[in-house]
Structure 1
Amino acid sequence: METAEIRRRWLSYFGSHGHTIVPSAPLVHDDPNLLFVNAGMVPFKPYFLGQETPQFSRATSVQKCVRTLDIEEVGKTTRHGTFFQMNGNFSFGDYFKEGAIQLAWELITRSQSEGGLGFDEKDLYASVYHEDDEAIALWKKVAGLSDDRIVRLGRKDNYWNMGVAGPGGPCSEILLDRGPQFGADGDWEAGDRYLEFWNLVFMQYELENVRSKEDFDIVGDLPKRNIDTGMGLERVAFLLQGVDNIYETDEVFPVIAAAEDLSGLRYGADHEDDVRFRVVADHVRSSLMLIGDGVTPGNEGRGYVLRRLLRRAVRSMRLLGVDAPTLEQLLPVSMERMKASYPELETDFSRISQVAYAEEEAFRRTLSSGTTILDTAVARAKSSGATTLGGAEAFALHDTYGFPIDLTLEMAAEQGLQVDEPGFRRLMGEQRDRAKADARSKKSAHGDTSVYRQLSDTLGRDVEFTGYDQTLTDTRIRGLIRDGVVVDRVGPGDEIEVVLDRTPLYAESGGQQADHGRIRLANGALIEVTDVQRPITGLVVHRATVLEGEAGVGADAEAEVDVARRRSISRAHTATHMVHQALRDELGDTATQAGSENSPGRLRFDFKSLQAVPAAAMGEIEGRINAVLLDDLPVTADIMNIDAAKKLGAMALFGEKYGERVRVVSIGEWSRELCVGTHTPRVGQIGVVKLLGESSIGSGVRRVEALVGADAYSHLAREATIVSQLTDTLGVRRDELPDRIAAILARLRDAEKEIAAVRQSQVLGAATGLVQSARDIAGVTFVSHDAGDGVTGDDLRKLVTDVRGRLGNDRPVLVSMASVAGGRPVVIVATNERAREAGLKAGAFVKLAAQALGGGGGGKDDLAQGGGSDPTRVSAALGAVEDHLRNRGA
């Protein structure tokens, strides 16, 4: 049964049992604790936490997920993968344990002809939390399981919590006995014999003081008992498809097969190669799905994860002996397999592939530059008499340049040096610990909503925001949090969260960054505020540091906004409204906002558009914005009911939730939007807006970035200086500069073409002589040639295929040539059809040659390429090909 069919049956089954079918959320989800959705229940977390009320009592989904904590382990075992799909069914105060068990058992045991999954009941077991007698009784009642097919396990295996204070409860797993060939009877811990594929979480308790997965306090029952289940789609797919692991399923293995064709190697022949094949298959699919959901490669956060995945895939193909670009052959294969479940991948494949192929090309350049940096480090180590390359240098290559450690190890070894791998691992561990600590701190702040609810209840009303009219407000400290705990007093150096009864500081919202400022107390205490957030509705929390003195709950205080920062952000926010309106004027009403960020002196505005905005249109948009600035229109804010706002034509912003009463911000009669942010009184105070450009960030979503005010002026001044320098250097007027530069570039391109043509003609000119030099070895027409320095792999490939073609197909032909380009040797072997019929495969010969060069290679039976690190071994490499040919005929 194909994976897409399992997915379809799941949704159909639960849909027919009263569950609302919820589409998969994008992998990039609005959760401050997560880079990506990593579990099927993530989109439903606000319901389980009591932060939102669900519109349904039952739901089902097949959720796209990505987990990257074990990225280094992918491929080494068949258990680790980054992208996976989690089938889930959820109950919010509706059915509980008995209903969940009944639904699960019916679907998995119903015959496939009747729409079920068709598992044999005699092979199924259940694990339960060792104290959950109710679940044991239900497994006996519903499924008829005997005691020997129900195993009791502890908190480690069969108790679920979120890792922070909140809901939790015992869980029960459905296991499949795969047979004695996978392990001993009753060996529940091994994980191969009794494979868990469905987890039913019985969410019924309120947990606090969650110290670890197994160490927490149960403080009471939840007001409503919930069900959260998860069935791993890939895991069920390999069980039903009769293969050994997720890499051999119908959605993954075709990429491995394509990699086999490109490399000339076979999956299953060698463990190290198998690891590389699995890395390629997993990472290509994960990259496809991430780019499809709008992620682009970068150096931070989500973009960095995507970059690592793509580069590990490219690197693994290189280790399989393929130096040429490969994503163009691999990515479409993955798309073809995944489009049955996610048809948008095919629709958007042009953009997805453009992003992926550009990153592959960039990494190939990184490999080139990284090799130069590594060679310099090796030379420096050798000159000092060292035999080891430092861990810090290896870490810098990895962290700064994206140069993989395994490549550093390989290339250093080729030059006779070891690498301080323990030092490298230590630095990597320190970096990982910092990332985990940061993630834990964010998780704690997000998850411990009970602390905020406690303070909100004490306050008795919403915190009043005075910042529209004031930047300095008399107030009172109503709550203090230190290290996640409510306290009465704080002192110098404490990092705290402060709740005031009223505040002029704006909490981050609607794309506008938070205000900074200070809180002063009558006793001389001074608190510096560096962030303001709304962790729950109605509560404003100031994240701050006590600079001087002591502060206590109930103390009168004075809260002051950093006015310079506020004005800079307000200019950016007002400019964002102007960019939005100007885009709609130019592109039409479909150019609606899809997100924004307003920070001091700059803005980022995301909008919906299926096509790039032409440069001429961007010029018109920028001109229209700055023309309105000259008109110095007033910026006003009015509170009205939502229906009145709609009648005025006010636009609602992406991701915002509105009540009956809304705030409408107007720029004259030109623009109206619903907005709670701060703005300039008149647009003329913005000064100038400079658009930096626009780009794609996802399917149908574009991004404009701009500078505002003094930042825009400084940017324009720098550009003017650069233009002046260019005009002086080239001796032309400013208006002549584009034509002059275009002419210079045209001449350079023409010169490069002429040089390439001359070089190619020289290389190909040798073909006639090489044909004449052909020898007979063991009944094979054989040509061997050292093309020398400066001949690229592309030119050498053309020469090899030209000579092979001239020698015809009357008898077996084998052509072997090598050259050195950029200090690194390359070898290419080609065979004709008659030679392949005789069992002569180019890939086998090129591997022998590449080994002599200290490297590797591979390819197809008719044409294969390899390389290495020792250019002095070219003759030995060509000799290895000839010796192997002679030995075959002996």
Structure 2
Amino acid sequence: FGTTTFVGYTDETAEARVLAVLPASDERVEIFLDRTPFYAESGGQVGDRGTISTDTGTAEVTDTTFALPNLRRHVARIVDGTITPGQVATAGFDVERRDATRRNHTATHLLHAALREVLGTHVKQAGSLVAPNRLRFDFSHFQPLSHREVAEIERIVNSQILRNQGVQTETLPLEEAMRSGAMALFGEKYTEQVRVLTVPGFSKELCGGTHVRATGDIGLFKIVRDEAIASGTRRIEAVTGTDAFTRYQETEALVDAVAGELRTSRSDIPVAVERLQEELKRARREMDELRLKLAAGATDVSSNGDEAREVSPGVHVLAREASGIDAGALRQLSDTLLARIKSGVVILGRRSDDKASLIVRTSPDLRERVPAGQVIRELAPIIGGRGGGRPDMAEGGGSQSEKLAEALEASYQIVARLLEQNAKQLAV
């Protein structure tokens, strides 16, 4: 088809000749023009949307990409009439959407410079996405950003926005651009002539994207996320302009709602939250203690027949379920119950999140005859799992919580059998 002359740095609309109209998927077509103001997706910036019209039809452009170097493809849906090759067309992008994208693209350059100022010159761009509603910037760094660092980066970027410094663009030979101090993206291939974007006194980079005329056009900048995406690589997501303002409004509304629920002033929210956390911790401790007492039978609650059974002269086994307490409390309960029966074995089980867990405790005098680890290795398979441990204490778990009662009941026979079996071996 030839090539497409791009006029979108300066013009919002352009008269063009239709080079070709090709069918695409989902009832869409690909329109090729000899001139276009539409920016094609590249350098992390998304492609423009808008309309292409001729005397006989109108198309709604949903994306713009490169079909080949210097040949732009307008992915569109014909909404009225027909468009055919050879016709003269009027092409115009969605100005509001482009303006939002410009804000985010220039903000990406300010963010890059701010990151290098706050974190260090080891920061290098590793990727980006510039869309109308957000910007995403990937960069080399070895640890999460602290709250102080995020705040300082936001302060620097917004300070540059308040300066309302004019943004300068010029086309230079690549070598001259590099000598002037312009930053290039590592691994990117550049042509002999490159476009340099400069925010005087702050940022200078090679960039072919679209940008605001002055930093003040960005309006506002707010970081919304910082996360690791690979070893040594982090990702920041941010919003600008009206999206940033909406974010601040939502945050203000949230703070007001929290202050109202806590019946305190905005400035006293941290103190109120800390007080509630302490009260919650205290309540949880008291609840755990009560559950432990109930499980240990320290109250007047009936034991419902789960008293210790004598499985051999002087040897008692106590097996019971103790759901409702955590793993730490279960171990503490096993200590208490083992002290009560003095000589014997305690087996406790609990259910949590459709899983079952077991703990076996053996008194010192029975560790050779009934090792806890041996008991758990026979019990755990019953609940669909496995376990292990020392002669005095062993733990295990499984996914078949519905068989916990069966495992607890089986523990009496297992202990009795091990007593008899190991007694014969010791006698030999």
Q: Report TM bin, short chain.
A: 0.7 to 0.9
Q: Which of the two has greater strand per residue?
A: 2
Q: 1:562 aligns with which of 94, 102, 115?
A: 94
One-letter identity of the residue aligned with 1:643: E
Are 1:780 and 1:814, in contact at CA under 8 Å, matched by a contact in 2? no
Corresponding residue for residue 479 of structure 1: 20
Q: What secondary structure is seen at the aligned counterpart in 2 of 1:613?
A: coil
State the identity %.
33
After TM superposition, list the pairs within 5 Å mapping 1:264-413 onto structure 2. none
1:516 deviation in Å?
A: 0.5
The 5 A counterparts of 1:99-118 are: none
Deviation at 1:508, TM superposition (A): 0.8
Instruction: Kindly provide the CA deviation profile for residues 792-833 of structure 1, in whole angstroms up to 9, marking residues without a partner as x.
Output: 44422443366568989xx9x643223456898654445574
Q: By how many angstroms is 1:570 displaced?
A: 0.6
Secondary structure of the 2:17 match is strand
2:380 alignment partner in structure 1: 846
**Equivalent position amino acid for 2:411 in 1:** V
2:223 matched to which residue of 1? 691
Residues in 2 aligned to 1:641 and 1:687: alpha-carbon distance in whole angstroms? 33
1:786 aligns with 2:320: yes
Compute the displacement of 1:578 (Å).
0.9
Letter in 1 for 2:386: G
Seen in structure 2, the aligned counterparts of structure 1 residues 722 and 657 have a Cα distance that, compared at 3 Å, is: same
Q: Structure 1 residues 839 and 781 mapped into 2: Cα distance closer, same or farther (>3 Å)?
A: farther
Q: CA deviation at 1:574?
A: 0.8
Residue in structure 2 matching 1:602, options 120, 134, 138: 134
- The answer for the alignment partner of 2:256 in structure 1 is 724
For 1:502, the equivalent position in structure 2 comes to: 35
Q: Is the 8 A contact 2:166 2:215 kept in 1?
A: yes
Q: Root-mean-square deviation (CA), in Å?
A: 3.2
8 Å contact kept, 2:17–2:88:
yes
Q: In structure 2, how many angstroms separate the alpha carbons of the residues matched to 1:845 and 1:780?
A: 23
Other structure's SS at 2:68 match: coil
Q: Which residue of the partner structure matches residue 678 of structure 1? A: 210
Q: Is the 8 A contact 1:763 1:795 kept in 2?
A: no
Equivalent residues of 1:778, 1:885 under 8 A apart = no
1:518–1:527 CA contact under 8 A, matched in 2:
yes
TM-score by length of 1: 0.42
Cα distance in 2 between the residues matched to 1:827 and 1:838: 11
Partner of 1:416: none
Q: How far 1:662 moved relative to its partner?
A: 0.8
Q: 1:753 Cα shift?
A: 3.3
Q: Say whether residues 1:649 and 2:216 are aligned partners.
A: no
Relative distance call for 1:467 and 1:805 in structure 2 (3 A) is farther
Quote the residue 1:585 is aligned against: 117
Post-superposition CA distance 1:350-392 (Å, at most 9, x none): xxxxxxxxxxxxxxxxxxxxxxxxxxxxxxxxxxxxxxxxxxx
Q: In the alignment, which of 378, 386, 389 is matched to residue 858 of structure 1? A: 386
Contact 1:633–1:684 (CA under 8 A) maintained in structure 2: yes
Query: Residue 885 and residue 759 in structure 1: after superposition, are their counterparts in 2 closer, same or farther (change >3 A)?
Result: closer
**Structure 1 counterpart of 2:412, one-letter code:** E
Change beyond 3 A, Cα 1:803–1:521: same
Q: Deviations over 1:519-562 (max 9, x none)?
A: 11122x11111111124322211111111212222222111101
Q: Which residue of 1 aligns with 2:11?
A: 470
CA distance in 2 between counterparts of 1:588 and 1:867 reads: 49
Aligned residue pairs, count: 406
User: What are the superposed Cα offsets for residues 316-370 of structure 1, whole Å, 9 maximum, x if unpaired?
Assistant: xxxxxxxxxxxxxxxxxxxxxxxxxxxxxxxxxxxxxxxxxxxxxxxxxxxxxxx
Q: Is 1:880 aligned to residue 410 of structure 2?
A: yes
Q: Cα distance 1:628–1:568, how it changes in 2: closer, same or farther (>3 A)? A: same
More helix by proportion, 1 or 2? 1
Judge conservation of contact 1:504–1:560 (CA < 8 Å) in 2: yes
Q: Distance in 1 between matches of 2:288 and 2:58?
A: 70
Structure 1 position 868, deviation (Å): 3.9
Task: Report SS of the residue matched to 2:330.
Answer: helix
**Greater mean deviation of Cα atoms: 463-472 or 736-745:** 736-745
How far residue 725 of structure 1 moved from its aligned partner, in angstroms, is 2.5
SS for the counterpart of 2:168 is strand
Note the alpha carbon deviations across 1:408-453, whole angstroms, 9 max, x for none: xxxxxxxxxxxxxxxxxxxxxxxxxxxxxxxxxxxxxxxxxxxxxx
- Which amino acid counterpart does residue 44 of structure 2 have in structure 1? G
- 3-state SS of paired residue (1:597): strand
CA distance in 2, matches of 1:840, 1:782: 17
Whether the aligned pair in 1 keeps the contact of 2:14 and 2:37 (CA below 8 Å) is yes
Mapped pair 1:660 → 2:192: yes
Q: What one-letter code is carried by the residue in structure 1 that aligns with 2:388?
A: K
In 2: Cα distance, 1:819 partner to 1:700 partner: 42
Output the CA distance in 1 between the equivalents of 2:203 and 2:416.
82
**Contact kept in structure 2, 1:786 and 1:817, CA below 8 Å:** yes
* Higher-RCO chain (CA-CA 8 Å, sequence separation at least 6): 2
CA contact (8 A) 1:601 1:709 kept: no
SS at match of 1:534: strand
- CA radius of gyration, larger in: 2
Q: Using a 3 Å threshold, how does the CA distance of structure 1 residues 552 and 655 change in structure 2: closer, same or farther?
A: farther
Q: Separation in 1 of the partners of 2:262 and 2:371?
A: 62
> Structure 1 residues 482 and 616, CA, compared in 2 at 3 Å: closer, same or farther?
same
Offset, 1:785 = 3.0
Equivalent AA in structure 2 for residue 482 of structure 1: P
User: Secondary structure at 1:845's aligned position in 2?
Assistant: helix
The answer to whether the 8 Å contact 1:653/1:675 transfers is: no
Take 1:648 and 1:765, find their aligned partners in 2: how far apart are those partners? 81
The answer (yes or no) to whether the contact 1:498–1:541 under 8 Å persists in 2 is yes
Q: Is the 8 A contact 1:514 1:532 kept in 2?
A: yes
The AA in structure 2 aligned to 1:542 is: H
Length-normalised TM-score, structure 2: 0.84
2: CA distance between counterparts of 1:647 and 1:821? 65
Give me the whole-angstrom Cα distance separating, in 1, the residues matched to 2:322 and 2:23.
Answer: 70
Aligned to 1:99: none
How many angstroms apart in 2 are the aligned matches of 1:780 and 1:636? 92
